[in-house]
Amino acid sequence: MTSPSVVRGILDELGVRPQKRLGQHFLVDFHARERIVDALDLQPDDRVVEIGPGLGALTQRLVELCGDVRAIEIDRALASFLREHFKGRLQVYEGDALEADLPDMLGPAGKLVGNLPYYISTALVVRILEAAPTVAVLMLQSEVAERLSAGPGTPQRGALSVLREYAAEIDTVARVGAGLFYPPPQVGSRVIRLRARKAATLSSWPQIRPVVQAAFGYRRKMMERALEEGLGTRREVGRRALVEAGIDPARRGETLSLAEFDRLAAALGALQER
Ligand code: SAM
């Protein structure tokens, strides 16, 4: 599966035409595949979950390296090809990765990998961060990868940046040109690695996530307005929580650090309990 003509030939045999609406861009480069799989540092007794295996370009290497490989593929023809091709070496879940129970599939120490379908990559990354695999290696469009790394006060800063900072360390594994896919996507891609963080001293994910999403859902508004519109928090309660957290209520969400979001989530939680 390291040339466009081989991939095209298999797809033709299966009667599958790459569908844009499913983000079907198949990896046709041996070196990129090796770098992605190497970044997982797989051990024989690891469990790994793959999102969107397609024709199995990454999967082939995964099953060679470890004994518990699970994959989620939405395309029926591809899912049945994978079942047939990998026989008992791969558990294939046919369905939408956005609806899959990722924590259950990962178990306590699972790793995750995927050349993600770009049309849902943001939503998928939020679910992946929430499921907290020990390591996740993901191919993403460069713009999403940049948002994941963006610090406070930068134009790319968004909910994804703060939630990523909360849940995981990030590093770049590779930059990948469009020519390494069949058919080529219209955007540049990047492979990133996420390593789960132990966030024991911070607010819990269910506390912090809605606050972060409200702040960036109304990013042009001052924080007190964003909390009111995004969470339905009464203006005076929001203002008080912001002041208690040491944040000027007139600031905008993109200027807040993770530590400030954490203090704010805790202050809101405490006020709502009173
Ligand atoms: N892993 C393969 C590779 O690298 O060649 C294929 C990657 S392709 C970018 C994305 C894959 O995700 C396709 O196989 C597509 O059918 C699958 N897919 C699209 N939407 C999905 C969804 N909601 N849930 C699970 N798989 C999905």
**Does residue 135 sit in helix, strand or coil?**
strand
CATH number of 4-196: 3.40.50.150
230 lines ligand 1 (CB under 6 A): no
Closest Cα partner for 241 from 214, 201, 205? 214
Between the CA of 65 and the centroid of ligand 1 the distance, in Å, is 21
53 lines ligand 1 (CB under 6 A): yes
Query: Tens of pLDDT along 234-265?
Result: 999 999 999 999 999 999 999 999 999 999 99
Instruction: Kindly report the pTM of this predicted structure.
Output: 0.95
**Does residue 186 sit in helix, strand or coil?**
coil
**With 0-12 CB in 10 A as exposed, 13-18 as middle and 19+ as buried, what is 143?**
middle
Between the CA of 255 and the centroid of ligand 1 the distance, in Å, is 35
Query: Tens of pLDDT along 139-184?
Result: 999 999 999 999 998 999 999 999 999 999 999 999 999 999 999 9
**Does residue 180 sit in helix, strand or coil?**
helix
Ligand 1: which atom is nearest the Cα of residue 22? 19
- Residues spanned by CATH 3.40.50.150 within the chain? 4-196
- Residues spanned by CATH 1.10.8.100 within the chain? 205-273
24 lines ligand 1 (CB under 6 A): yes
* H or E element that contains 50: strand 47-51
Question: What is the average pLDDT score of the chain?
Answer: 95
CATH topology for 205-273 is Helicase, Ruva Protein; domain 3 (1.10.8)
Distance from C-alpha of 146 to C-alpha of 135, rounded to nearest angstrom: 19
Distance from C-alpha of 93 to C-alpha of 20, rounded to nearest angstrom: 21
Residue 102 has pLDDT above 80, yes or no: yes
Q: Which two tokens stand for residue 26?
A: 């198949």
